[in-house]
């Protein structure tokens, strides 16, 4: 169960204010290190941190498989004692030790590729070109019935235990071709939720995910499509809209991108032939 915290708030109902306790989602920084070298600090909801680190490294093209990871652990030597005697930072720094066969420092261009992928300020065509250089378009013959897609929203929502309490989390779910929910993760950041799902699949030796479906709460962004392409997921479904850059990348990558999944309706932005009409 992901952590929550209770705060005293003022809730208004029409003209009447009332002081009540409200349950909020926890947000804390996570520093990801590779071989004790600091790589990035992300804001996330604590929980499934090892999956988040593994998924992030994989979808940023810094590793190519779960075999590149020797061990993932919290950096307990960085723990500090707070004034009340509790320990801080115990689970806010994760170190990923890579196998001896992979030396991150000698990987040509890894720093440039990481910063290009992490940046939101680059030209769209340049960004798509950088992804195209790192991952080939999907060649999967995977198809899915429209009835399967219509079931995903309800199944994902039913699995969002913390969202029901706080209303403040995004979710990502990995589904089988028949609509079975295999992995679900929640986080304050939708990209983190996707990295956690892919990280769990990577550590479970399920990647490539060529016959799977990814569904995300909220909108479909460029970064989410990019992560799906790295994991070889052929269908991405979003509750809300897709951005123009996400659609462009989905078209380039031969990925089926679906948005506005609401009840028995959806908008298919790219590669609609992958969705079959049920007789």
Query: Where do the structural domains in the chain lie, given as residue ranges?
Result: 28-130, 144-276
Expressed in angstroms, the distance from the first to the final Cα of the chain is: 41
SS3 content of the chain, % helix, strand, coil (to 5): 35, 35, 35
Residue 84 pLDDT > 60: no
pTM for the structure as a whole? 0.84
Could you confirm whether 123 is annotated as catalytic? no
Domain 28-130 has CATH 3.40.50.300: no
Return phi, psi of residue 4, to 5°: -130, 165
- Give the span between the Cα atoms of 204 and 231, in whole angstroms: 13
Average pLDDT over residues 46-70: 93
32 contacts: CB under 8 Å, gap ≥ 6: 38, 39, 40, 41, 42, 52, 53, 56, 57, 94, 96
- Give the span between the Cα atoms of 215 and 258, in whole angstroms: 9
pLDDT tens sequence across 120-179: 444 455 566 777 768 889 998 999 999 999 999 999 988 876 555 555 688 999 999 999
Radius of gyration of the chain (CA): 20
The structure tokens 């995903």 sit at 152
* Annotated catalytic residue within 75, 120, 123, 143: 120
pLDDT tens sequence across 159-169: 876 555 555 68
**Any idea which fold 144-276 has?**
Cytidine Deaminase; domain 2 (3.40.140)
pLDDT tens sequence across 5-45: 787 877 777 778 788 887 777 888 899 999 888 888 989 98
pLDDT of residue 162: 59
pLDDT tens sequence across 60-77: 888 999 999 999 999 876
């Amino acid at each position: 169960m992901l952590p929550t915290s209770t705060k005293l708030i003022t809730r208004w109902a029409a003209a009447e204010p009332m002081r009540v306790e409200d349950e909020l989602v926890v947000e804390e920084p996570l520093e990801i290190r590779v071989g004790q070298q600091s790589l990035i600090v992300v804001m996330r909801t604590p929980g499934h941190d090892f999956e988040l680190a593994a998924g992030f490294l994989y979808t940023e093209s810094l590793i190519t498989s779960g075999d590149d990871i020797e061990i993932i652990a919290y950096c307990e030597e960085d723990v500090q004692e707070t004034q009340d005697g509790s320990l801080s930072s115990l689970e806010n720094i994760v170190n990923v030790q890579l196998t001896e066969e992979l030396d991150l420092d000698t990987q040509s261009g890894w720093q440039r590729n990481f910063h290009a992928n992490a940046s939101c300020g680059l030209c769209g065509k340049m960004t798509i070109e950088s992804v195209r250089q790192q991952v080939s378009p999907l060649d999967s013959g995977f198809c899915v019935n429209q009835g399967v897609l219509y079931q995903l929203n309800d199944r994902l929502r039913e699995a969002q235990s913390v969202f029901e309490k706080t209303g403040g989390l995004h979710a990502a779910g990995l589904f089988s071709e028949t609509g079975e929910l295999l992995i679900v993760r929640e986080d304050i950041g939708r990209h983190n939720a996707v990295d956690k799902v892919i990280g769990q699949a990577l550590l479970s030796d399920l990647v490539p995910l060529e016959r799977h479906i990814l569904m995300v709460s909220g909108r479909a962004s460029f970064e989410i499509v990019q992560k799906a392409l790295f994991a070889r997921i052929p269908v991405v479904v979003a509750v809300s809209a897709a951005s123009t850059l996400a659609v462009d990348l989905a078209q380039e990558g031969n990925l089926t991108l679906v948005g506005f999944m609401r009840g028995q309706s959806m908008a298919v932005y790219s590669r609609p032939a992958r969705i079959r009409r049920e007789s």
